[in-house]
């Protein structure tokens, strides 16, 4: 049972920014973002803070990124550069290399590199730092369960995504199957939103998607999600965290980033960022939140 996370402004730490825009939203804004987000204002006494955003982030609008950057810059007290890449792998690599001070990654790479990464904060959604993975199909398709999805063209989000790949992979592994043979064809959209698009358009017959993204999309783009139907929801798993390289743990910059996220709800700009992301706030969290993901990772490694 996941730990109950603090809710409300007073309970959310300053570093608890809850940006949850997913990566395909980001992908479309990479070009624009590089212009709009990064008016460089280096401090005389240090370099810019680099904050990585993976496609786990819901990146649907420029306003969100502008406000997040403004908020982090003001809260950290240093210029902040938002660094965005298309895949989880790219951001994870930049984080591990120390290029990034912190990054919003997925629980799966966090578990994969647990020995080299450290938690900075975990977003709180609907009162807890947890989310689910959904298996979705076309709204009109009469499907009762996962067994009916055999032979489908299936859309995954990212090979390093927990909800968009690992959960389904583990599910099939548990049944003695592997995605490449269970499904007629699989492909990656590198964006949770695009998994919904792929299923809604009929390109994919089923898809694995982040439950948080699907739920937020059902508020923002109900026309798109209403064309899909949830066949299966996974158990609750640790929400994609903000992490840093273990070497940077406890460093002043890292601490200021953590503080900025945990106290995001106290600030007007921060509050607006949380509202856009439909998040309650951020919590410090701990590694135990990701035990479920770690189990699936082990299961896949062991049986896959």
Partner 1 sequence: MKRSLRRIGAWPVAVKVPLVVAVLMVAISAVLSNQILVRLSQTQQRHLEQLASAYLDGLSSSLVPYVLRDDIWEIFDQLDRSRERYAGLSAVYTIVAGQDGSILAASDPHEFPSQEPVPEALSERFVGTNTLVLAEDEGRAFVRRPLSYQDRPIGAIYAEIDIQALLAERRQVLLTLIATNAALTLVFAGFGYLAVRRMVRPIDILAAHLERGRGGRIEPVPRAQIGPKNSEFGRLFRRYNALVRALSERETLAARLAEEERMGSLGRLASGMAHEINNPLGGMFNAIDTMERHNDNPLVRNSSLQILKRGLVGIRDVVRATLVTYKAGGETTRLRARDLDDLRALIQPEVGRRRLTLEWRNDLPDDFTLAAGPVRQAVLNLLLNACAASPVGGRVCLEAGARDGELVIEITDQGPGIPPEVASIMNATKADPPPPMHGTGLGAWMVNRLVRQLGGAVHATQLPAGGTLVRIAVSTEGNKGLRHVA
Judged by the rule CB under 8 A, the positions of this chain that interact with partner 1 are 153, 155, 184-185, 187-189, 194, 197-198, 201-203
Q: Minimal distance in Å, beta carbon 29 to partner 1?
A: 14
Q: Which of 24/67 has CB closer to partner 1?
A: 24
Partners of residue 238 on adjacent β-strands: 130
211 Cα distance to chain centroid: 11
E strand or H helix at 132:
none
Q: Which of 56/76 has CB closer to partner 1?
A: 56
Q: Which of 153/230 has CB closer to partner 1?
A: 153
Convert 64-75 to b/e letters by CB count within 10 Å (16 or more is b): bbbbbbbbbbeb
Q: Minimal distance in Å, beta carbon 189 to partner 1?
A: 5
Q: Which of 117/135 has CB closer to partner 1?
A: 135
> How many whole angstroms separate alpha carbon 84 and alpha carbon 103?
10
Phi then psi for residue 126, to 5 deg, are 55, 40
Q: Minimal distance in Å, beta carbon 34 to partner 1?
A: 20
Question: C-alpha distances in angstroms, 183 versus 180, 186, 201?
Answer: 6, 7, 18
Q: Which of 67/197 has CB closer to partner 1?
A: 197
What is the number of alpha carbons within 13 Å of residue 232 lying toward its C-beta? 18
Q: Minimal distance in Å, beta carbon 265 to partner 1?
A: 36
The DSSP letter of residue 294 is: H
Contacts of 2 (CB under 8 A, 6+ apart): 128, 129, 130, 236, 238, 289
Q: Which residue has the tokens 């199909």?
A: 137
> How many whole angstroms separate alpha carbon 233 and alpha carbon 23?
21
Q: Which of 155/242 has CB closer to partner 1?
A: 155
Cα dihedral sign, 72-73-75-76: positive
Q: Which residue has the tokens 């919904």?
A: 196
Q: Minimal distance in Å, beta carbon 186 to partner 1?
A: 10
Q: Minimal distance in Å, beta carbon 148 to partner 1?
A: 17
Among the listed residues 302, 256, 299, 261, the one whose alpha carbon sits nearest the alpha carbon of residue 280: 261
Q: Minimal distance in Å, beta carbon 177 to partner 1?
A: 20
Q: Which of 15/152 has CB closer to partner 1?
A: 152
């Amino acid at each position: 049972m996941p730990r109950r996370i603090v809710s409300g402004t007073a309970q959310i730490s300053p570093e608890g920014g809850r940006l949850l825009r997913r990566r395909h939203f980001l992908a479309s804004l990479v070009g624009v973002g590089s212009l709009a987000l990064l008016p460089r204002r280096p401090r005389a006494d240090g370099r810019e803070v680099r904050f990585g955003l993976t496609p786990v982030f819901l990146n649907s609008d420029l306003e969100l990124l502008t406000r997040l950057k403004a908020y982090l810059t003001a809260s950290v007290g240093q210029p902040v550069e938002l660094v965005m890449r298309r895949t989880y792998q790219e951001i994870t690599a930049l984080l591990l290399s120390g290029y990034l001070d912190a990054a919003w990654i997925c629980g799966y790479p966090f578990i994969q590199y647990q020995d080299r990464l450290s938690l900075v904060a975990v977003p709180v959604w609907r009162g807890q730092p947890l989310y689910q993975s959904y298996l979705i199909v076309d709204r009109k398709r009469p499907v009762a369960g996962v067994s009916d999805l055999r032979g489908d063209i299936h859309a995954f989000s990212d090979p390093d995504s927990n909800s968009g790949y690992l959960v389904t992979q583990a599910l099939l592994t548990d049944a003695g199957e592997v995605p490449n043979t269970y499904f007629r064809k699989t492909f990656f959209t590198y964006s949770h939103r695009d998994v919904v698009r792929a299923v809604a358009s009929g390109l994919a017959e089923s898809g694995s998607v982040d439950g948080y993204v699907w739920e937020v999309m059902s508020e923002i783009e109900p026309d798109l999600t209403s064309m899909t139907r949830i066949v299966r929801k996974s158990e609750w798993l640790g929400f994609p965290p903000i992490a840093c390289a273990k070497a940077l743990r406890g460093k002043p910059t890292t601490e200021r980033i953590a503080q900025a996220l945990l106290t995001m709800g106290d600030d007007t700009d921060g509050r607006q960022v949380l509202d856009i992301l439909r998040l309650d706030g951020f919590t410090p969290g701990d590694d135990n939140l990701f035990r479920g993901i770690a189990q699936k990772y082990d299961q896949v490694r062991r049986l896959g």
